[in-house]
Amino acid sequence: MRADRLVATLLLMQSRGRLTAAELARELEVSVATARRDLESLSAAGVPVYPQPGRGGGWSLVGGARTDLTGLTAVEAQALFLLAGPSAATAPELKSALRKLVRALPQTFRADAEAAAEAVVIDSARWGESDHERPERINVLQNAVVRRRKVWLTYVGRKREESNRLVDPWGLIDKDEIWYLLAGTEKGQRTFRVDRIVDITLTEMEADRPHDFELLQAWQRVVAEVEQKRSLESAIVLIDPKFVWVLRDQFGRHCEVEKTLDDGRARVRVAAPAPLSIAQYLAGWGNQVEVIESEPVRAHLARIGAELTAQYAPD
């Protein structure tokens, strides 16, 4: 991502003293125009870097200075340690890195940064359960992404078919404790659920990766496509406003309050992949929810109600 490149640029400048946009582009595997824009962005943001024209010129830090952790503000430093701190409790390498980052911060920032690192503890285990360790395959895939090495995957698809694939790993995503791998294949970018990978082999073949690839943007496109499929059908329902939050918890982003009616009820649009899916979500509400638009959903609710009555009504 761009933030990674900016940090990498600063580290390269501090280690080499001076470098050109072309040299930076080769190191970071981006275009010369992108490298130049990054350098100009650092300068515009107040980082003491400047260009020196002419033969033997390039970009360097003013006076060979070293930046204080890339010029982070006090608020930015606190945010960094607040995010990384909880994971440091179970990751010795991260804890060591945070200690080094604290020493790199200006003295006035250190106390708040250290406090932020200890402000949150994440306990991922439910009550009565032991904590789950990260699957070893995640470590293998992360190593492949960092080293840019191809991997052989034995993968089980949604229809339970098993296949062997040679892929170029581009990045890993942890979404609500479900891991996904974004990778390049012969058919282009593909998304793999890591828990469906039954075997993985790291190779020494160099992986191909687009120069302009940014993991966050690629994942946002995947999410947009999935959410679009999840909202193919919609219905309008009426519900007491105080229960809208429960409805939103069921439908997520596919729950939109349109307005409040004169009788006090909220008019809400909900969506899902199919009318049956909407009906299944709403069936447990009984008469607390009224579907006023979507005959297919109403029909499914009537059928579900009749089946429940036949099953459970007293003789």
Tens digit of each residue's pLDDT (9 = 90 or more) over 72-85: 555 655 565 555 55
- The CATH label, of 3.40.605.10, 1.10.10.10, 3.20.20.60, 3.40.640.10, for the domain at 2-67 is 1.10.10.10
Residues in a beta bridge with 255? 270
Q: What is the pLDDT of residue 189?
A: 92
pLDDT band at 90 (very low <50, low <70, confident <90, very high): low
CA distance 2 to 55: 29
How many Å apart are CA 118 and CA 113, to the nearest integer?
9
pLDDT tens-digit series, residues 123-164? 555 666 655 556 778 888 988 888 889 999 999 988 888 899
The pLDDT value recorded for residue 103 is 57
Q: What top-level class would CATH report for the domain 230-312?
A: alpha beta
Q: What is the pLDDT of residue 241?
A: 94
Q: Are 304 and 282 in contact (CB under 8 A)?
A: no
Q: What is the CATH number of domain 136-228?
A: 2.30.30.520
What digits encode the pLDDT tens for the residues 273-295? 899 999 999 999 999 999 999 99
Query: Domains of the chain: which residue ranges?
Result: 2-67, 71-117, 136-228, 230-312
pLDDT at position 21 is 85
What's the whole-number mean pLDDT along residues 12-27? 78
Q: What is the value of pTM for the model shown?
A: 0.53
- Residue 1 has a pLDDT of 45
DSSP 176-220: TTEEEEEEEETTEEEEEEGGGEEEEEEEEEEPP--TT--HHHHHH
